[in-house]
Structure formats: C-alpha cells, structure tokens
Structure 1
Amino acid sequence: MTNTAFDEQGAAGAVAAHSGIRTILQWLESPMAPHPAEELPSLRAQVKAWHEVGGSPQQRALALNGLYERSSSVVAALLPELTELLLPIPRKSRRLVRSVLDLLQMLADDTLEMVEGVAPHDTSDRHQAPDLALWRSLRALAQQLMISHLIASPAPTGAWQQLHQTYALARSLHLEATIPRGQTRKLQHIYQAAILLGCAQPASLTAREVVFLAAYLERFAGQIEPLSAEAAAAAAPGTFWVDPTRDAPALPYSRKLAPSTAPLEYFSCAGLGLLLKTQIAQLNAGTSAEEIGLPELASTPAGVGVLRRLAGRWSDFGKRRFHRRRQGYRAVLGTGIEGLWHLCKEGDTAAVELSSWMITNESPDGYAIRHVSGKISTVSVGNVVAVRTGDEKNWQICLVRWAVSENPEDLELGLQILAPKAVPAILARPGDGEGTEHLRVLVLPEIPSLRPSQLLIVASGALTQNSGKLLLVIEDENLVVREVKSIGIDEQTGSVDILAIQPDATHF
C-alpha cells in the first residue's frame, strides 16, 4: 500500500514537472512585449520557474536555450536606453538596471549548472554542450560587469570572483580555446575582454565609450600576452595580475605589487597597446573604422580619443605624480563650454546654473568631489567644468576624469585641473553654406615648466583634423582678433576637443 502511494506521488510529481517545462516552452512561443522593459518581469519569472521545475535533461536544456536567447534579445534591446542614462541614475532606471543584472546572474548560474554530469567534449545535444554552457555563463557575467560600468556603479558582489572561477573551470576541462557551435569567439576571448574592460578604468569612460570598448576588446582580446611571475616582476608598462580567488578585477603591477603567496595569473597589454597606436595612425590617415574591423564610433573624434587614452595608459607606468590630501570643504561647480564661457566672461552675474560640492581630497593637479546640492544633468566624464572654492575670484578649469555613483543620491567625480583660469573667445570658421559660423570656445594660458603652449577647448568634432589657421575674437577692454594654428591634439573626449595652439602671426 505504501509503495503504491509512493508510486502515485512520484507519477504526479513527474506530470507536474513535465507540465512546468511545457508551460515555459509554450511561453517562449508567445510574442515579446512591445517594450523590452515590459518583458523583463515575465522573463525573470520564467527563468526562476525553470530552476524550480523538473523534467528530463533534454527538456530542461531546450527550455534554458530558449530563455537564454530571449534574454539576450531583451538585454541587447535595452542597451541603447541604458547607454543614454545620465548620472546619477534615477531610482526608476536603477530598478530597471537591477532587474537586468538579476536576470543575467540567474542565467550565469543556470547555464553553468548544465555543465554538471556531461562529458567535456560531448556535443551530441547542442543545447547541453559544456563549451556552450560555459560560454554563455561567461558572457552573462561579462555583460553584468559591463552594465555596472555603464552606470558608474561598483560590480555586483561576487561577480568578478564568479567570472574567474567559471573561466578556471573551462580551463580545467580544456575548453578555453573552443568556439562553441553558433558563436564566433572563443571562451577565453569572452573572459579576456571582460578583464581588459576592467583594466581600462571604466569609471573614466562614458556609457557610450564603455559599450564601444567592450565591442573593441572582445574583437582584439587575443592580443594580450600571458606572462610568467618572473617576467611580470619586471613591472613593464601595461602589466597586470589577477588573483582568481578574489572578488576583484585585474590590477596594474605598477600600482599594486602582487602578493607572493596567492595563485596569480599575469598578462601584458603591451602588444595590444602597439596595435592601438597602429590603428590610431590608420584612422588619422583617413582609413575608415570598418576597413580595419573597428566599431563605428572609432571613426569619430570621441572614439579616437578613447583609443588614444587607452594606448597611453598601457604604454607608461601610470604612477601618481602627487599625493592626495583628505579635505572637507565646499566648492561651487559650473559645467560645459557654454556655461564656462559665460562664467569666465560675466563672472557672478552670469545666468548659469551652479551646483554645490564637497571636496573630499585634493592634490596639486586635481580634486575628488562629492555632490551636495543643485542640478547636475550636464556633468559627464570627459566634459569640462569650472570650480571655485572659498573666496577665490577665478574659476579653475578642470576636466572630469572619472565618475562613480553607488546610488541615486550619490555622485563622486575626479577632476584634473587644466588651468587656473580661462579666456572666453569666439572662434570664427567657414560654415557649411555661405557665411561664417561662430563658436564659443575657451583659451587656456600656458603654464611655465608644465605646458609651454596655450590650449583651445572646443566642442567635440567642431574642428576637422586638417583645420589650418583659426581666427579667434577676444572681447576684453578692447576687441582683439588673433590668428592661431593648431600644433597638435592634447585631448579628445566625447564632449570636447582640447588643442595645443600657438600664434600664427601675432601673440596673445
């Protein structure tokens, strides 16, 4: 009697499990919601249900395959929207991001679960193939990290460690160099691209630049060079180390010495740095990004600027020039070329929105600041800002180097001081049609022993690389017209181009 009851209960459980899997498969055949954000709740519910229902291994693999592909489509459709978010991310948008991160975490866990109990090179069932399961788990974790970079937020707890351990499992099964069926990249390239994006100081990138570099690094991740501990000890520029047991990204050898007892992995970005310089030279010579296999953004000044900064970071030691000192005093901030132009020209009478910040530390070449109050919608990495502290009369001109936002009420910025003041000017240039176009620009004075030339700050892409003579109109006590010429690019970001200039006929 007991056996009969047990059999009936087991049969009922099997029917329920089969019904659960069938429900998921039927849902996968339904059309997606009009907006990908509307799809997320039901998609997460189905992924959670998959983890709880039974079914044969083949049925579960088929259902998970459909859920993964549908999730990939939803995340891809949401990326453009996430890329356009301004810091700090509003609560509603942050809830959306958290939902995406949770979905990717479930997928990373569930696809990894499919590796258990299957021979490493068994591809008889393409939905259960271990190389594909590991590839998908790595990909979900890499996307989770990239989206955290997009919103300038710390990575989810455990994400880096899980990425390292999943790749270690792939290596133990000798699958790291495998390209799963239907994919175009090796498992090691997915892992290496995520590691390299962490090495690129993502807090110093805009969301658009993060997406661009993620695509670039996935394409060229194979250029990094593994090193032995002895070779890494030379601490050449672009050398990094990874501790697979820690929940942390790769760290530069020049900034932090590797512990001698941990099982570390070492690699060099020197070869990738040389490739970057070659590609930059090709782009500057007029070669299109498509011709050399680069993402579309590489054809813009902002894209070239990102590649140039990355090549520079991986070509020198990147040590700090000055020590930072902790502080705790207030500062006022103005943002953008237009705002700074009016501040420098009109002073306190300028009709410019200002915000209040707390300086948390400082050095001779910059500040770290935390937002206190006021609108900050135009603050972004790569933009110029003006800072005034205490009773100072002049506005210091700074470049936003990095941004971190752990919650909607918090935003921290790292500022590099470009000059103690700026001269507002009008740049006259030929327009697309007849007549002359006038742009508001800023002229920064030279700084003896640090910078021998003046700098010109213009909106990104406002001038072509081959711009010859530039005509500047400066209105002070008198109206002054100056001819200058660009002698090189000092910095390019998604917001501004900073050119080194010198007088062409007369002097400032």
Structure 2
Amino acid sequence: MADYSNNTLKLPLQDLDTFPHFALKAEAADSWAQTLPAGNALKSGSDLRAALSALNRSVVPPAQRFLILEALRPVLNQTATTLTHAFLGQPLTLSEEGQQRAELVRDLYELGAAGYALCAVHTIARQSIVTETNPAKLACESLQRAITLQGRELLRGHLLYQPPPVHSWSTLHQLYAMGERQQLVRLPVHDPLRDTDTSIVGEYLPALLLGCCKTNQLRQRDIMAVFSALQQWRDLIRIEDPGVGSGLFTVDLDSDRPPVYSKLIVERPSTALRHINTDALVEQLQRLKQRHKKEGITSIALNRETRLDANLLNHLRRALGEVSQRNFARQRSRHRLWIATGLTGVHFYVAGERTLDQVLHGDDHLESEETRQADNPFLRRLSKADAWQRVNPEEDAVADADIADSEAEQAIDVDAHTLAQLNDEEATYEPRKHIVYTVESANVSPGGYCIEWNDLPAGIQIGDVVCLHEREHGGTEWSIAVIRWISQVRESPTLLGLELLSPRGTAYAAQVRMPDGEYSRPLRVILLPEIALVGQPHTLLVPRLVFRENQKIILARKDESYLIKLKRQVGSTAAFSQFDFDYLRQLDEDVDSSGRDALSASSFESIWSDI
C-alpha cells in the first residue's frame, strides 16, 4: 500500500483528552449501546450522536476504533432507520420536530462515516501501528463502511427533496478515490450487518447513480425502491477511465457534485474524471418493461420490499439511458396563480364548481337527505336512546322537560322573513370540499411553471394533477398541469415544477363494464382536447389502476353520452393515467339512461367508492 496524505477529505481533529461515555473498548461500547432506550429513537439518537462526536475527537488506534464502531453500528443503523420512517409519508414541509429528526439522522450518518474514514486514513498513513490485522483489509473494510454510511446520508437528502449539505458529494468521491489509489475498490468485503458480500465500488455506484435518477420527480416510496434496486443491479454498472471506456455520465472525483452528462463536460486533462457506463442496466430495464407488458402485471417484485411498476421502470430507463435537456427557456416571472390539486378537486373546478352527480345529471340535481345523512355522521339521527338515558328514563324525561321550559323562556323571536331565509340557507348549504390555493410563480416557460409555495399542504405529492389560472375570479378557463418535481431548502419557500398538459379540459363521468356485465359507478375523468397546432391529439385523464389499453368505456355528462375505446397510454404518474382514445359511437337516450343508472353492487364496489 502506498503512503497517503489527506489534503481534501474533511475529518475532525483528535483534540480530546478524555472520553466520558464508556471505556474505549469494543466490549464496553457494546454494553453501552445495550443501555440506550430502544423505544425512544430520539433519545437514543441524541446519546449516540454525542458519543460518536467525542469518539471521532479522541486519540484511538485505528484497529481499536474500527472495533468500537462495529459495536455501535447496529444501533446506529436501527436508530437512523426508525427516525427516517418517522418523517417518511409526512407532509413534505416538515414540522420542527420532523426537521430535528431529519437533522439527527444526518448527523448520525456523517459522524459514523467520519469515524470509519479516520480508521482508513490512519491505517494507510501509519501501517506499522496496525499489528492485530492486515492493514489493507482494515483500510478496505473501513472505506466500505464509510461509503455505505455516506451513501445513506445522500439518500436522506433525496427523500426530503433537499440539496445535500456542502461536502457530501466530495466526501463520497474522496473515500472512493482513496480506495482506488490503494487498489482496494474491487476486493470482496463481507458486511456482517447485512450478511452479504460487497465491495467499495459496490457501495459507491448505487449512491452515485441515485444522483442521476432525477429523484425530485419521484415519490418517497419510489426513491427507496430505486435505491434498493440499484444495490441489486450494481454489477450491471461500470465505472471506467475516460481513456479506455465511455458512458452516458461522467463524475469528477475532485468535485462536490453528482455525475453529469458526459457530453456536457468540457474536455480538459484530468486524472479525476470517470465515466459511468449504464448500457447493461438500461438493457435490463428494457427487458423488465417487456416482461411487464407481456405478462400484464402491475409491478415487478425484486424482493419483499422492492416493487417497480411500469411508470417507475420507464422513468429509470429514460433517466439512465438518454440525455434529457430542457425544451424551453425559463423566464423569470413574479405573479399570483390560483391552483387546485387532486383529480377530484380538478374535476370539480373544471366542471364549473359542479359535483360529479351534477355533471352527470344536471345542475338541478341534489342528493337526497338520506344520502347526505348517510355520508355525514353528524347529521345522522340517533336510532336508539342514549345508554345512560335507558337506565333512568323517567328521571331524564322530567329533567329534559325542565330544560325545555327554561330554554323556552329565553327564546329569541324570529320574524317570518328571517325564518324563511334561514330555512332556505339550511336547505341549500353544502360544505366546501375543495380548496383553491394562492401561490407565487418564480419563473415560466411555454411548457409550464416553477412556483413558490409557502406552507405546502399535507398530501401534495409528485405526480398529482392540478388545475390553475392567473385570475382570482372567473372569466378564464382552468389549465391542466401535473407536479413534476419538488425542491426544498430550509427557511425558503418550497419550489414545485408544473408541466402543462393542456390549456383547458372538460369534466366527464366514465363507467367501465364489469366482468358480470354490469357497469361500475361513475368515475371522474377529464377530457383534454386536441391541439392541432402542436399535433397533440385528444386524451383522457383517468384514475390509476382502473383503466387499461383497448378498454371500452362509457363517457357521459348531461345530454351527451359516448362509447369510446382507450388506445395507447401516453402518460402515467402515481396519481393518474393518460390515454389516447377513439370515439366509437354516440349512445342513444335509452342506452345513456341505462348506463347512468347501472350502479348495482359488485365485487369491485369498495374500489369504486374509494376512487
């Protein structure tokens, strides 16, 4: 092994004289870890952070430091995993407590990676002090552990749609470069925590390639699935020297950034450039896509936790197999936008603030009182007396009569006109279920908007359909768009990228013919009209998991009803699918009415009601 002088890697100085947490031995570290409160991840994480920080600043021989870190690694992994799950699936704008948990996870991964990096650096610099084991083996294992933890820290940033902290990428690159200089990167390393054989390059490549997967366009569960899949596919990825290889991406080991497209790199002499060849991986993704289509399955399971659907496979194939560049130039623009989210909300506003039943049956249609009461538990009348009242009915009857007399004495007289107005308001009142939010645009292009959204509401996700316009009150049609990406920087507004799908849409109800010959309940769909100027055919936005290519459905609204056939699926997200379609024929009034009234129950009843 060659001598190594660390000039770039940022590591803590060993400036502490005492270590207060436990004796600096692996056995003592293990015993201390057992005392951490397993049911309180926040307390365990805080104690572990303090111990790791002090350990990194203490003078400890590298072999001994490695054994202590190995004793602490299981509880570090368990605590960080628990804390991560606590903020996954939560509103993207984290609460103060959620932010504290996320920062604690960051600190644990960074401190753990720094500790193992110290083992590697000290072993390489002073090999003679390592007598208990082979110095090359110790350095190799230490670098593998450090890269694993640093990769988890980068994954945390992807999950939060936040830019990585300064030096995060450079730390990962320098750890790999250190192993490469020592010719250690391809040596097999056994990881007892995961009970698997891996290597330095095997841990580096998944973390590296995740930075190429445009994770700001994916939902959190899909980001986790992609990272897990890349770990399985790491043998299909090659890192090559520019002189002997090629690749779609290039990484600069001296930089603090992820890989970039090779064609965008300005040619310059450098020994730090490496190509990332993804050809074999893209071929694997293409095979999986063909299998997905041939077998007609909804998703492909790589293991018990990892499932890849067609939409995610297509995203990965495009992200890792072709250069993607912006089609339109952005222009800075600051003005207000009014926006509604979700297929249900978009359908409501595109329909002119009408419900699905009103779209189907007309503006005069009102739900019956029984239906409204069935849907609202606060309007239901009690069918049985209160359990306590049944115990002493006579006493309660007398008490109720006394209360009624007392209230009657204090009653307020209401004139006939006011009473009629109150009755009319009660009869026509309907709670507002859909919200229009006011946001600020940051920049615009012919293809969409970048918007700033303070206090992002819970439930907003990448792939959601939205409608928006630039005027607060009517007089303009709602444009239809989709949330393509999200970016967050602490103490700044959340940025969302909206891709415009159509300048307008038409709300319809759709019914699918069931296997038993009956029709499903009406489902909300939105017809996007043809735009001949740009060669865009008419398409239909529909809920996911219900509609398929070559399916025949009834498309209806008041006074018009059509039988159509869905053709090619031209787009899909986690929230909706988009199909090209053909009109087969317009249905006559008899078929129209029978189709609309065909709402009988079937084995799919619960699915339709949820949608």
Does TM, scored on the shorter chain, surpass 0.5?
Answer: yes
Deviation at 1:281?
1.2
* Secondary structure of the corresponding residue to residue 199 of structure 1: coil
**Structure 2 equivalent of residue 398 of structure 1:** 481
Task: Compare CA radii of gyration and give the structure with the larger one.
Answer: 2
2:179 to 170, 174, 196: 170
**Structure 1 equivalent of residue 350 of structure 2:** 344
**Structure 2 equivalent of residue 357 of structure 1:** 439
* Secondary structure of the corresponding residue to residue 177 of structure 1: coil
* Equivalent residues of 1:273, 1:311 under 8 A apart: yes
**Structure 1 equivalent of residue 254 of structure 2:** 245
Check 1:308–1:101 CA distance in 2 against 1; reply closer, same or farther (3 A cut): same
* Secondary structure of the corresponding residue to residue 292 of structure 2: helix
Distance 1:76 1:402 in 2: 25
TM-score by length of 1: 0.85
* Secondary structure of the corresponding residue to residue 561 of structure 2: strand
Distance 1:122 1:241 in 2: 39
**Structure 2 equivalent of residue 280 of structure 1:** 289
* Secondary structure of the corresponding residue to residue 328 of structure 1: coil
Distance 2:463 2:19 in 1: 59
Distance 1:228 1:14 in 2: 45
**Structure 2 equivalent of residue 159 of structure 1:** 168
Deviation at 1:16?
7.9
2:33 to 15, 28, 35: 28
Deviation at 1:17?
9.6
Matched, 1:443 2:527: yes
* Equivalent residues of 1:18, 1:55 under 8 A apart: no
**Structure 2 equivalent of residue 426 of structure 1:** 509
Distance 2:521 2:107 in 1: 49
Q: Which residue identity does 2:447 align to in structure 1?
A: D
Q: Deviations over 1:133-185 (max 9, x none)?
A: 11111011111111101011000110000100000011112121123123333
Q: 1:260-271 to 2 correspondence within 5 Å?
A: 260-262=268-270, 263-271=272-280
Distance 2:134 2:244 in 1: 43
Distance 1:369 1:143 in 2: 30
Distance 2:485 2:515 in 1: 35
Distance 1:469 1:306 in 2: 26
TM-score by length of 2: 0.72
**Structure 1 equivalent of residue 540 of structure 2:** 456
**Structure 1 equivalent of residue 266 of structure 2:** 258
* Secondary structure of the corresponding residue to residue 241 of structure 1: strand
* Secondary structure of the corresponding residue to residue 500 of structure 1: strand
Deviation at 1:403?
0.5
Check 1:232–1:36 CA distance in 2 against 1; reply closer, same or farther (3 A cut): same
* Secondary structure of the corresponding residue to residue 424 of structure 1: strand
**Structure 1 equivalent of residue 228 of structure 2:** 215
* Equivalent residues of 1:242, 1:251 under 8 A apart: yes
1:19 to 23, 36, 57: 23
**Structure 2 equivalent of residue 109 of structure 1:** 114
Check 1:185–1:230 CA distance in 2 against 1; reply closer, same or farther (3 A cut): closer
* Equivalent residues of 1:17, 1:53 under 8 A apart: no
* Equivalent residues of 1:289, 1:295 under 8 A apart: no
Using the TM superposition, name which of 263-272 and 18-27 deviates more: 18-27
Check 1:490–1:131 CA distance in 2 against 1; reply closer, same or farther (3 A cut): same
* Equivalent residues of 1:216, 1:294 under 8 A apart: no
**Structure 1 equivalent of residue 90 of structure 2:** 85
Distance 2:299 2:529 in 1: 39
* Secondary structure of the corresponding residue to residue 505 of structure 1: strand
Over the matched positions of the two proteins, sequence identity in percent amounts to 20
* Equivalent residues of 1:122, 1:129 under 8 A apart: no
Q: Which residue identity does 2:184 align to in structure 1?
A: L
Distance 1:338 1:382 in 2: 14
| Aligned length in residues | 482
Distance 2:189 2:30 in 1: 23
Distance 1:66 1:488 in 2: 55
Deviation at 1:73?
1.7
Q: Which residue identity does 2:84 align to in structure 1?
A: L
Check 1:313–1:440 CA distance in 2 against 1; reply closer, same or farther (3 A cut): same
Q: 1:94-105 to 2 correspondence within 5 Å?
A: 94-105=99-110
Distance 2:522 2:491 in 1: 38
Query: What is the RMSD computed on CA atoms of the aligned residues?
Result: 3.2
Deviation at 1:314?
3.5
Using the TM superposition, name which of 73-82 and 63-72 deviates more: 73-82
Q: Deviations over 1:223-271 (max 9, x none)?
A: 23445547889xxxx71111111110111134x3335244321223233
Distance 1:418 1:122 in 2: 66
* Secondary structure of the corresponding residue to residue 197 of structure 2: coil
* Equivalent residues of 1:24, 1:46 under 8 A apart: no
Check 1:191–1:122 CA distance in 2 against 1; reply closer, same or farther (3 A cut): farther
Deviation at 1:101?
0.3
Check 1:158–1:338 CA distance in 2 against 1; reply closer, same or farther (3 A cut): same
Q: Which residue identity does 2:120 align to in structure 1?
A: V
Deviation at 1:85?
2.3
Q: Please list every run of 5 or more consecutive structure 2 residues that lacks an aligned counterpart in the other structure.
A: 1-16, 356-431, 588-611
* Secondary structure of the corresponding residue to residue 188 of structure 2: coil
Check 1:269–1:364 CA distance in 2 against 1; reply closer, same or farther (3 A cut): same
